[in-house]
A = this chain, B = another copy of it.
Amino acid sequence: MINKLIQKIQKTNAPIVVGLDPTMKFVPEHIRRAAFAEYGETLEGAAEAIWQYNKGIVDAIYDLVPAVKPQIAMYEQFGIPGLIAFQKTVNYCKEKELVVIGDIKRGDIGSTSEAYAVGHLGKVQVGQSFCSGFDEDFVTVNPYLGSDGVRPFMNVCKAEHKGIFVLVKTSNPSSGELQDRLVSAGESRTGGEEAGERPVYEIVGSQVAAWGAECMPESGDYSYVGAVVGATYPEQGRILRKIMPRTFILVPGYGAQGGKGADLVHFFNEDGLGAIINSSRGIIAAYQQEKYARFGEAGYAEAAREAVLDMKRDIVSCLN
């Protein structure tokens, strides 16, 4: 799947992923009105609204980008109906040949991580049958529990030709509270050996590189164990790029969170690959920005398309 992602990036010339993170305040009024008319102001009504909204966006951008990243929390907040909209969105995007990165940030003890891995990337055994739950192509994984929590995902990825992105340095303002802590030289209380004083994100980055070395596809330069590093921390991105040379980096935080095109150069390798930049609000709610106001609410999908084209120009010009 990492090779499919890379091929699609090369074909579209767009190392871009569109974050499908719908909230009700982004959904144009005509879509909300129609959904509420059918289902009322209920979870079902909300789910119908975000599904129709997503469908409009996907129809407008699917030929421009290699991948989408639905953030499951934005669906889970609407309970079961919301999760049905998540599943419909995943399936629709796959029909459109988009690579789907489920932004689920799961991670637990071994047997529990296995259940998440099976439910989102693999197949679960029921009697003599094997059934798919959500069936994304990639998911994001939280590393706080250590390798027990990550290996079950690696195993399912190997069997199913899928991939993960492990959180290393997240884009949010408080990410440094834990991730920037300096770890003292050469030891943890349960062993491990590294020299010098290094921040937690470097320790995790080194682990991701090691896990990734075990998870190389039969051909190609990049592992199917990737990393998440926020666009808002370009200096850390530069360091992590070196620590994890064969790791694909998923980079959130461009646009609305403050990351700029010029900040992104260091996330890429010299082959022009190795990173994919996410924008969510900046694309899907572009019509609410002054720059794209001419499209109006009714033209929200066309505004999203225009915003993707602008983002592509910004990133490609910085890479050249």
Using a CB–CB distance below 8 Å, which chain A residues touch chain B? 21, 23-24, 32, 36, 40-43, 45-46, 71, 73-74, 76-80, 82-84, 87, 105-113, 115-116, 118-120, 124-129, 131-134, 142-149, 167, 170-184, 187-192, 197, 199-200, 203-204, 207
Given contacts A73-B112, A142-B144, A180-B190, could you give 15 more A-B pairs where the C-beta distance is less than 8 Å? Answer: A23-B111, A23-B115, A71-B112, A73-B108, A78-B124, A80-B83, A105-B108, A143-B178, A146-B176, A148-B175, A181-B189, A181-B192, A182-B188, A184-B184, A188-B199
Contact in complex: A124, B174 (CB < 8 Å)? no
Contact in complex: B119, A82 (CB < 8 Å)? yes
For A146, give its contact among B129, B147, B149, B179 (CB under 8 Å). Answer: B179
What is the bound-complex CA distance between A182 and B189, given in angstroms?
7
Please classify the interface of chain A as helix (H, G, I), strand (E, B), loop, or mixed, using the class held by over half of its residues: mixed
What is the bound-complex CA distance between A181 and B190, given in angstroms?
8
For A174, give its contact among B115, B148, B173, B183 (CB under 8 Å). Answer: B148
Chain B residues with CB under 8 Å of A175's CB are 145-146, 148
What is the bound-complex CA distance between A182 and B182, given in angstroms?
8
Least Cβ distance of A50 to chain B in Å? 10
Chain B residues with CB under 8 Å of A191's CB are 176
Least Cβ distance of A143 to chain B in Å? 7
Contact in complex: B187, A182 (CB < 8 Å)? yes
Q: Could you list 27 A-B pairs, sorted by A, with CB under 8 Å?
A: A24-B125, A36-B126, A36-B127, A41-B128, A42-B131, A45-B126, A45-B127, A73-B108, A73-B113, A73-B115, A77-B118, A78-B124, A78-B131, A79-B131, A79-B132, A79-B134, A80-B84, A80-B87, A105-B108, A109-B171, A144-B144, A144-B170, A146-B175, A146-B177, A180-B189, A182-B187, A184-B197
Contact in complex: A73, B146 (CB < 8 Å)? no
Least Cβ distance of A37 to chain B in Å? 11
Chain B residues with CB under 8 Å of A124's CB are 43, 46, 77-78
Q: How often does this chain occur in the complex, in copies?
A: 2
The verdict on A126 contacting B172 (CB below 8 Å), with A82-B133, A192-B177 known, is no
- Report the nearest B residue to A47, measured CB to CB: B126
Chain B residues with CB under 8 Å of A147's CB are 174, 177
Contact in complex: A177, B190 (CB < 8 Å)? yes
For A133, give its contact among B78, B172, B199 (CB under 8 Å). Answer: B78
For A74, give its contact among B83, B115, B146, B176 (CB under 8 Å). Answer: B115
Contact in complex: B73, A119 (CB < 8 Å)? yes
- Report the nearest B residue to A112, measured CB to CB: B73
The verdict on A42 contacting B126 (CB below 8 Å), with A178-B146, A182-B188 known, is yes
Contact in complex: B200, A78 (CB < 8 Å)? no
- Report the nearest B residue to A140, measured CB to CB: B108
Chain B residues with CB under 8 Å of A204's CB are 178
Least Cβ distance of A239 to chain B in Å? 12
Contact in complex: B127, A170 (CB < 8 Å)? no
